[in-house]
Amino acid sequence: MKTLLLLLLLALPILPATADSCTAADAPGHEPTALPKLPADAAPRHIILMIGDGMGAEHVWAAWMVNRGKLNITQLPVIGFSRTPSASHAITDSAAGATAPACGVKAVNGHIAQDSEGRAAESILLRAQRAGLSTGLIATKDITDATPACFYAHADDRRQKALIAAQLPESGIAFVRGGGSKHFREEQLQEMRRRGMDIELLSDGDMPPAGQRGDVLPKATREALERLSRNPQGFFLMIEGSQIDVAAHRNDLRETVREVLDFDRAVGEVLSWMQQHPDTLLLVTADHQTGGLSILGGSIPEGRVDAHFSTGSHSGVAVPLYAAGAGAARFGGIWDNTELHGLLRKALPMPAAQE
Ligand SMILES: [Zn+2]
């Protein structure tokens, strides 16, 4: 009996009991798109902001290992960090975490597009639209969820779904893809289409996880680029990889990697589009880190990562930002998350929207 126990103990891996593994078989990878040659100091006409919800540097590198040492995101030439504390907490939630880059103000956790005093703040998307650019919004969760909501709505509480939903038709956003059809009546959807909004809500609530939803995110990205680029004045598009956060809250390593790879495929769609449209600025960042992920081992040639989550909540580390294309040069450095708003605003092609 004792010998059997000893043999069993020896057979255990050296990794801590809590480490988990993800392999290329669990999370099928892809070839990155060749990085187009882009003038980093030119003025952009199109601005694309991509937010990986909860996507810390560790989540990116975990996916990079599983994809055998290559990703679209990690090719982007300009890098920096974004500090994420909110007005109320050292560790932000997604509402304050999106309000900061969207509106340039620190919000109390849970507040949608409001400053710390509860005053409504205008998002970069609505500002771009007011100046004559076309706008788009893509998410893989409910479109009334905190991150996308901060770009078109204001609310004291992120759970006020009906109040948030009611503000979408007024926004006039040209292209919308996400989940959350249950918050809208059929007449409201028809009214939005009558106003010229190209809106498809592809699920009742959140969409299924990456492993089950096919190429919805890369496809919506392609469609948005095709549709929005019809406006010669330019466009502002926000694309969220919403469920990286969901998977990391669950401490589900395989699903986390699948979500990052799905988001990275959407980045690849943007990069291939940018080959024909070098007057485009791409900024990829996150609102906060989720799960306190750390990488403990693995094999890049085999496409495997061994990693450990240290919390079921968000963590307080600064998150990475990656930029490419026209005007990307100014994003290098360590920023407060509110400062990203000012940088994006300076990049807007319309002088009226920059003020
Ligand atoms: Zn979260």
Cα(152) to centroid(ligand 1), Å:
20
Cα(173) to centroid(ligand 1), Å:
25
Q: Is residue 17 part of a domain?
A: no
**Confidence at residue 4, expressed as pLDDT on a 0 to 100 scale:** 63
Cα(242) to centroid(ligand 1), Å:
9
Burial of 133 (0-12, 13-18, 19+ CB in 10 A): buried
SS (H, E, C) 82-118: EECCCCCCCCCCHHHHHHHHHHCCCCCCCCECECCCC
Rounded Cα distance between 149 and 164, Å, is 7
Q: Take residue 134 and report the two structure tokens written for it.
A: 């076309």
Cα(314) to centroid(ligand 1), Å:
6
Cα(245) to centroid(ligand 1), Å:
5
User: Percentage of the chain surpassing pLDDT 70?
Assistant: 94
By DSSP bridging, strand 78-83 and strand 294-299 are: unpaired
8 A C-beta contact, residue 107 and residue 342: no
Cα(21) to centroid(ligand 1), Å:
22
Q: Is residue 10 part of a domain?
A: no
Cα(90) to centroid(ligand 1), Å:
14
Domain residues for the domain of 63 are 41-350
Cα(97) to centroid(ligand 1), Å:
10
Cα(289) to centroid(ligand 1), Å:
8
Task: With CA atoms as reference, report the closest residue to 72 among 41, 107, 46, 35.
Answer: 35
What's the first-to-final CA gap in the chain, in angstroms? 77
8 A C-beta contact, residue 264 and residue 30: yes
pLDDT, one tens digit per residue, over 65-108 is: 999 999 999 999 999 999 999 999 999 999 999 999 999 999 99
Cα(59) to centroid(ligand 1), Å:
14
Cα(255) to centroid(ligand 1), Å:
15
The CB-side HSE value for 334 (13 A sphere, CA atoms) comes to 4
Cα(169) to centroid(ligand 1), Å:
26
pLDDT, one tens digit per residue, over 24-37 is: 999 999 999 999 88
Cα(307) to centroid(ligand 1), Å:
19
8 A C-beta contact, residue 233 and residue 350: yes
pLDDT, one tens digit per residue, over 254-263 is: 999 999 999 9
Cα(279) to centroid(ligand 1), Å:
33
The number of beta carbons lying within 10 Å of the beta carbon of residue 42 is 16
pLDDT, one tens digit per residue, over 304-325 is: 999 999 999 999 999 999 999 9
User: Is residue 66 within a helix (H) or strand (E), and if so which, with residue range?
Assistant: helix 57-66
Model confidence at 351: pLDDT above 80: no
Cα(226) to centroid(ligand 1), Å:
31
Cα(14) to centroid(ligand 1), Å:
31
Q: Is residue 218 part of a domain?
A: yes
By DSSP bridging, strand 134-142 and strand 294-299 are: unpaired
**Confidence at residue 7, expressed as pLDDT on a 0 to 100 scale:** 59
Task: With CA atoms as reference, report the closest residue to 264 among 78, 76, 101, 100.
Answer: 76
Model confidence at 16: pLDDT above 60: no
Model confidence at 56: pLDDT above 70: yes
The alpha carbon torsion through 338, 342, 345, 346 (nearest 10 deg) reads: -160
Q: Is residue 34 part of a domain?
A: no
Report DSSP letters for 179-239, one per residue. E-GGGS-HHHHHHHHHTT-EEEE-SSSSPPPGGGSTTHHHHHHHHHHHHHTTSTT-EEEEE
Q: Is residue 5 part of a domain?
A: no
Strands, sheet with 333-336, edge to edge from the N-terminal-most edge strand: 198-201, 175-179, 134-142, 235-241, 46-52, 280-286, 319-325, 78-83, 333-336
Strand partners, 248: none
Cα(315) to centroid(ligand 1), Å:
10
Cα(150) to centroid(ligand 1), Å:
15
Cα(209) to centroid(ligand 1), Å:
15
Q: Is residue 285 part of a domain?
A: yes
Q: Is residue 155 part of a domain?
A: yes
Cα(81) to centroid(ligand 1), Å:
19
Cα(154) to centroid(ligand 1), Å:
19
**Confidence at residue 190, expressed as pLDDT on a 0 to 100 scale:** 94
Cα(145) to centroid(ligand 1), Å:
11
Cα(146) to centroid(ligand 1), Å:
10
Q: Take residue 312 and report the two structure tokens written for it.
A: 């079921």
Give me the number of domains the chain comprises.
Answer: 1
Q: Is residue 206 part of a domain?
A: yes
Cα(287) to centroid(ligand 1), Å:
9
CATH number of 69's domain: 3.40.720.10
**Confidence at residue 350, expressed as pLDDT on a 0 to 100 scale:** 74
Cα(93) to centroid(ligand 1), Å:
6
pLDDT, one tens digit per residue, over 97-141 is: 999 999 999 999 999 999 999 999 999 999 999 999 999 999 999
**Confidence at residue 41, expressed as pLDDT on a 0 to 100 scale:** 75
Task: With CA atoms as reference, report the closest residue to 139 among 80, 92, 167, 98.
Answer: 98
